[in-house]
Amino acid sequence: MEYAIGIVTYQPDIARLQENLKTAVGNLQKGAILIVDNGSENIGDIRAIAADAILIENPQNLGVATALNQLCRKAQALGCEWLVTLDQDSVIQPGMVEAFSHYTDLSDVAIICPRIEDRHLGRQHTQSTSGTEYVTHAITAGNMVRLKAWETVGGYTEELFIDGVDFDFCLKLRESGWQILRDNNVYLCQEIGHGHRIALPFHHQMSVLNHSPQRLYYITRNYLWIGRQHRQRLHWTFEVAKRLFIVLCFEQDRWKKLRAMFTGIRHYHQGKMGSVLL
């Protein structure tokens, strides 16, 4: 068995998850569909639609990074060489796995990913709809990960819990000599936060993602950690500053969100990682 598809769930919308599973099953001629659930209250509904999948049930939310490592370990145990990682609301294009399989013989490629079509923000990170290109990073949804590469870099960093997990993983891979290949012929329908675009002067635009205060806490703390860990402090500090500006100027519940972000800054300096409830 060469390929598996893995999905991480937490309190999923069942109709969207069912659509996700349908397209996942349609992508595999042979292979396994794996689900790791992070303590969802609607686990009974998940069990009902996941009869054809291998379901791993965590008793509580252990975070995205831990769930991804569980998926990778299970796929390895089944003899798979590659794992497609999906969010619970990701709907993949028919034939995606087959399209990606054309590049699996590139020995230095650790991740093959699609272009992202956000339901609210449109096409992300590229204007191209054809060809392939090497990129610096890829979000978790829609990645096809070489399990040998995952193992050589020590997997996903579980202390991050959620947010920045994919960026850190890509940086670890690239620092170890692996490459990330994007196939622009293949797209993934995705929803990043509850975003919309606002117009700025001189024909510029800015994405407002409207993440919750809890998510903004993790984004702030983890981005600063990534900057220190990978010696990119200036870049990731700028990313945090940009989000502070967007929250202050354009988002609702700004004071709750700003308080969460400043808590994230404080916890970063204190070295507090893992799961935190605000």
State how far the Cα of 144 lies from the Cα of 110, in Å rounded to an integer: 8
> Which tokens hold the place of 214?
């809890």
Burial class (CB in 10 A: 0-12, 13-18, 19+), 110: buried
By three-state DSSP, how is residue 94 classified?
coil
pLDDT at 208: 73
Q: Cα angle vertex 260, ends 254, 261, to 5°? A: 85
State how far the Cα of 102 lies from the Cα of 85, in Å rounded to an integer: 18
Cβ-contact 116, 184 below 8 angstroms: no
pTM greater than 0.75 (yes/no): yes
pLDDT at 210: 84
pLDDT (average), residues 116-141: 74
Closest by Cα among 113, 64, 104 to 82: 104
State how far the Cα of 175 lies from the Cα of 125, in Å rounded to an integer: 22
Closest by Cα among 150, 143, 142 to 178: 150
Return the percentage of the chain with pLDDT > 70, whole number: 89
- pLDDT tens by residue, 33-55: 999 999 999 999 999 999 889 99
- pLDDT tens by residue, 200-241: 554 455 667 788 999 999 999 999 999 999 999 999 999 999
pLDDT (average), residues 60-80: 97
